[in-house]
Structure 1
Amino acid sequence: MKKLLLTIYLYLHRNLIRFAWSFFTLFKLEPTKIVFSNFNGGGYGDNPKFIAQEIIDAKLPYKLIWVSGEPSNTFPPEITPVRPNTLSFVYHMATAGFWIDNTRKLYYFKKRPNQYYIQTWHGGPGLKKVEKDCESALSEEYKAYAKIDSKHIDLFLSCCEWCSKLYHSSFWYHGPLLEKGIPKNDLYFKDPKPIKEKVFSYYNLDLDKKLIMYAPTYRDNRKTDMYNLDCDKVLAALKQRFGASFAILIRLHPNVSDQDDRFTYTDRILNASKYKNMQELLVACDMIITDYSGCAFDYPILKKPGFLYAEDYEEMKRTKDYYFSLEELPFSLSQTNEELVQNILTFDNDKYQKDCERYVKEINYFDEGHAAKAVVDEITCKIKGHIL
C-alpha cells in the first residue's frame, strides 16, 4: 500500500510541477533575477558561490535565489533560498533572467526564449572519462536529460583549452564558451595566508603543522569500500620523507558525504566532508591524495605534491577508461596502501615540478584569478541589453 501511495504521489507531484511551470511562464520575466544551483540543492558552494559573492561584493542590484535542499544550509542575507521541486522553486525558475548551475538539470524544466543559462560545471580536467566519452556506462535516463540540458545552455565556462575541446566533443554541447577560468579557482590567486589561518583555526591546528587531504571522488554505484586509506601508515611515511608532523583531512564527495563515518577520526585524522569550501581546503593543504577527482588536477597550478590512490583503477579503466596515460600525468599512481607509502617515501620534488610545468603547458589553463568577475560582467552586459 505504501509503495502504491508513493507512486500516486510522485505521479501527481510530477504533473503538478509541469502544470505550474507552464503557468508561471505566463508571468513577467525578471531580467535581474538569478537562480543559482549547486548540485541541484546543495549549500553555498562551488562555482555558483563565487559568482554570487562577486555580485554581492560589487553591490549590484540583482535578486539572488539559491536552490537549497537542506534547511540547515546558510547563506548571505542577500540570497533567498528555495527548496527544489516546490512551487516556489518553479516560480523563480520560470521568471528568472538567469540560471547558473554546476551540474546537469536532471528534471523537467521549461526554458523561455529570453532566459540565459550559464553552466559552470563542477570540475576541470580529470582522469576518468565522462559524458559521451563513457556513454555505455551511463543510464539512458541520464543521457536523455544531459542532451536536453546541453541544448538549453547558453554559455559554458572553461578553465583550460583541454576542457574547451572536451565540452564541445563530449558534452552534447556546441555553443559559446567563456574561456576565463572557473570562479572557484580564483581563490588560488589570492594571498593564501588568511585562508590557511581560517582552516587551521577551524580544526584547532598549530600553524607549523603540515596538512594533507584525502579526497576521493564517488562511484556511480555510491560504494565507498574502496576508500580504505591507511591513514596511520601514510602519516608515518610523510613524516619520514618530509621531516614534519602532518595531519590528514578526509574529504568525501558531496554525493556520498553522508558515509563519512566509515573513518575513525582523531586529532590528526580530521573530518573535512562537511567543510563548506573545498577550494579553501585545497589552498590550506600542502599535499593531496585522490583517485579520479579533478581536484588533484588543480595541484599542478599550485605546484603542490599530489598522489593518486585507486585500488579499483583497472576496474574503472574497463568500465569508463581514462583520458590520460600515467606517463602524461605528473602524479604517481598507487593501487595499494603499500604502493602509496612507497611512492611517498621516494617522492622526487624536482621531477614532480618539471612534470607539473609540462602538464600545465599542455593543458593550457586560462585561470588568472578573475573568472567570477568575467561571468558577472557577462551577466551585467546581458541585463543592460535586455532592459535597454
Structure 2
Amino acid sequence: MKIGIINFLRIVLRIFYIFPIKDNYFFFESFNGKGYNDNPQYISEYLSNRHKQYRQIWSFRNNIFKTVVTPTNIKKVKTGSLLYMYHIMTSRVIVTNDFFSPIIPIRKSQILVNTWHGGGFFKKVAMTSKLPSRYMEWYYHKQNQMISAFVASSQYFIKTVVRDSFLFTGDTIHCGMPRNSVFFKELPNVKERLRNYFGVPFEDNSLLVLFAPTFRGCSEQGVLNMSDENLDVKKVHEAFEVKYRTKVYFLYRAHHAIVNDKLSGNYLDATAYPDMQDLLYCSDILISDYSSCMWDFGLMNKPIFVYAPDLQYYENSTGFFKDVNEWPYPIGRNNKELLDSILSFDYGDFINRNTKCMAELVSYENANATDLCVEWIFNRKQTV
C-alpha cells in the first residue's frame, strides 16, 4: 500500500514537467533541509566564488527557514512546499548529502549528485544493516533511478556503502568529499576564529579535545546514551592534561539527530557551531564512537580515541563494515579503559596503523575535491 501511494504521488507530481528545466539553476539540500552545511555548502560556495552566473536555490525546513544564515545570492525555499517542488523539478543540477523523498519524480535530463555525509568503514547502513526489508530494497532502487552519481571518499566506501548498502550501480566521482579538502590546507585564520568563538586563547600551547559521538536509535529519535556509564568528562580532561602536560579545553558536539542529551560535566558546548569541519580542523584530539567524523579527522593524522560503552549492543543491532579490532584507534569500552588508552597512547604506533588503514581503503580524499566534483558536474551538463 505504501509503495502504491508513493507511485500515485509520483504520477501526480509530474504536472511540474510542464515547466522547462533551467540550465543555470543549482538546487541544494543538506541533511533534508536541516542547515546550510556539509558537502553541499562547500560546492555552493565554490560556485559563488568562481561561477557567479549560476543561480542557487537552497531548501530549509520550516523551523529554521527564517533564522538560517546564507549568502545574499542564494534563494531559500521551505522544504516540501510548492515552491520547493517547482525548483527541485526545474533545476538542471541537484546536490544533496542524503536521499530525497521517493515521491519526487526527478527527470532523466536532470543531474542529481549525492555527496553523502560520511566516509570510512564504520557502521552499516541500508541493505547491509541488520533489518533490511522489501520496502527498503524498493526504496533504494527508486533512489537509484534518480541519482546521477555518488561522490566517493574511498574505494572501500564504493564497495561497502554505494554498491552493497545502497545497491547503486551508476557513476561514482572519485574526488573525495568536498568538505574534507580543508584538511589538506593551512588555514590559521580558521583556528583563530574558532578559538575566539569559544573564548580560548589562540597563542598559548593549550589543546582542544573534541567529543563527537554519533546518534543512537532511528532518525529524529536519536539519543546519546545507550549505557549506564556516561563519559566522565572531568577524569578524561585530567588524563589529557597529565598526558600532554598542558592546558586542555574540552568541546562537545552533539549529533544533529540527538534529542536526548545526557552528557554532564564541564565542557564547551560546540553543538550550535555552524561548521563541523572547522571543529575537526581546529581540534587537536578527537573522541568519538562510531561516527564517520573519525575518518575525516584521521586524514590529518591527529590522535583519535573511541569511547564505546555500548559496543556489543551496537555491533549486534547495527554492525560494522570492518572488525573493530582492525580499527587504527584505541577503543575504551568504559571510562577506565579510555583513561588507560589516553595515558598509554603511542603516537608513532597510531600513525603507522592509521596510514596502513587509509592505504588499504584506497582513500580519494584530497585538497581539490570540490574542484573535481564541480568539474564532473559541468562535464555531465554538456551531455544532457
The answer to whether the 8 A contact 1:211-1:284 is kept is: yes
Residue number in structure 2 paired with 1:251: 253
Alignment counterpart, residue 156 of structure 2, candidates 155, 162, 170: 162
Q: 5+ residue gaps in structure 1?
A: 1-13
Q: 5+ residue gaps in structure 2?
A: 1-5
What are the equivalent positions in structure 2 for 1:1-388 lying under 5 Å apart?
Answer: 21-69=13-61, 70-71=64-65, 72-134=67-129, 136-138=130-132, 142-166=136-160, 167-207=162-202, 208=204, 209-221=206-218, 222-226=222-226, 228-256=230-258, 258-260=259-261, 262-264=262-264, 266=266, 269-386=267-384
- Residue 259 of structure 1 deviates from its aligned partner by 4.0
- Residue 139 of structure 1 deviates from its aligned partner by 6.1
Residue number in structure 2 paired with 1:10: none
Q: Aligned partners of 1:62, 1:20: CA distance in 2, in Å?
A: 29
Q: Aligned partners of 1:292, 1:106: CA distance in 2, in Å?
A: 26
Structure 1 residue runs of 4+, over 6 Å off? 14-17
Residue number in structure 1 paired with 2:3: none
The answer to whether the 8 A contact 1:265-1:271 is kept is: no
Q: Decide which structure has greater helix share.
A: 1
Q: Aligned partners of 2:265, 2:16: CA distance in 1, in Å?
A: 48
In structure 2, the residue corresponding to 1:254 is in which secondary structure?
coil
Q: Aligned partners of 2:306, 2:341: CA distance in 1, in Å?
A: 10
The answer to whether the 8 A contact 1:66-1:79 is kept is: yes
Q: Identity across aligned pairs (percent)?
A: 27
Q: Aligned partners of 1:284, 1:33: CA distance in 2, in Å?
A: 34
Q: What are the Cα deviations for residues 39-78 of structure 1, in whole angstroms up to 9, with x where unaligned?
A: 1112110000001011011033111111111121111112
Q: Aligned partners of 2:73, 2:286: CA distance in 1, in Å?
A: 34
* TM-score, length-scaled by structure 1: 0.90
- Residue 319 of structure 1 deviates from its aligned partner by 1.6
Q: Tell me which amino acid in the other structure corresponds to 1:252.
A: A
Q: Tell me which amino acid in the other structure corresponds to 2:237.
A: L
RMSD between superposed Cα atoms in Å: 2.1
The answer to whether the 8 A contact 2:112-2:147 is kept is: yes
In structure 1, the residue corresponding to 2:377 is in which secondary structure?
helix
- Residue 137 of structure 1 deviates from its aligned partner by 2.5
Q: Aligned partners of 2:103, 2:273: CA distance in 1, in Å?
A: 31
Q: Aligned partners of 1:15, 1:355: CA distance in 2, in Å?
A: 48
In structure 2, the residue corresponding to 1:99 is in which secondary structure?
strand
Q: Tell me which amino acid in the other structure corresponds to 1:21.
A: L
In structure 1, the residue corresponding to 2:20 is in which secondary structure?
coil
CA gap of 1:164–1:211, structure 2 versus 1, over 3 A, is same
Q: Aligned partners of 1:277, 1:329: CA distance in 2, in Å?
A: 26
Q: Aligned partners of 2:8, 2:83: CA distance in 1, in Å?
A: 12
Q: Tell me which amino acid in the other structure corresponds to 1:64.
A: Q
Q: Aligned partners of 2:99, 2:19: CA distance in 1, in Å?
A: 25
- Residue 283 of structure 1 deviates from its aligned partner by 0.5
Q: Aligned partners of 2:8, 2:59: CA distance in 1, in Å?
A: 19
- Residue 318 of structure 1 deviates from its aligned partner by 1.1
Q: Aligned partners of 2:13, 2:292: CA distance in 1, in Å?
A: 35
Q: Tell me which amino acid in the other structure corresponds to 1:148.
A: K
Q: Aligned partners of 2:271, 2:140: CA distance in 1, in Å?
A: 27
Q: Aligned partners of 1:183, 1:105: CA distance in 2, in Å?
A: 20
Q: Aligned partners of 1:382, 1:372: CA distance in 2, in Å?
A: 15
Q: Aligned partners of 2:224, 2:319: CA distance in 1, in Å?
A: 20
- Residue 248 of structure 1 deviates from its aligned partner by 1.2
Q: Aligned partners of 1:300, 1:100: CA distance in 2, in Å?
A: 26
Q: Tell me which amino acid in the other structure corresponds to 2:370.
A: A
Q: Aligned partners of 1:212, 1:377: CA distance in 2, in Å?
A: 36
The answer to whether the 8 A contact 1:186-1:372 is kept is: yes
- Residue 364 of structure 1 deviates from its aligned partner by 1.4
In structure 2, the residue corresponding to 1:331 is in which secondary structure?
coil
Q: Aligned partners of 1:56, 1:230: CA distance in 2, in Å?
A: 44
- Residue 138 of structure 1 deviates from its aligned partner by 4.7
- Residue 369 of structure 1 deviates from its aligned partner by 0.9
Q: Tell me which amino acid in the other structure corresponds to 2:157.
A: C
- Residue 187 of structure 1 deviates from its aligned partner by 0.8
Q: Aligned partners of 1:44, 1:215: CA distance in 2, in Å?
A: 19
- Residue 265 of structure 1 deviates from its aligned partner by 6.5
- Residue 16 of structure 1 deviates from its aligned partner by 11
Q: Aligned partners of 2:7, 2:165: CA distance in 1, in Å?
A: 32
CA gap of 1:294–1:358, structure 2 versus 1, over 3 A, is same
- Residue 151 of structure 1 deviates from its aligned partner by 2.6
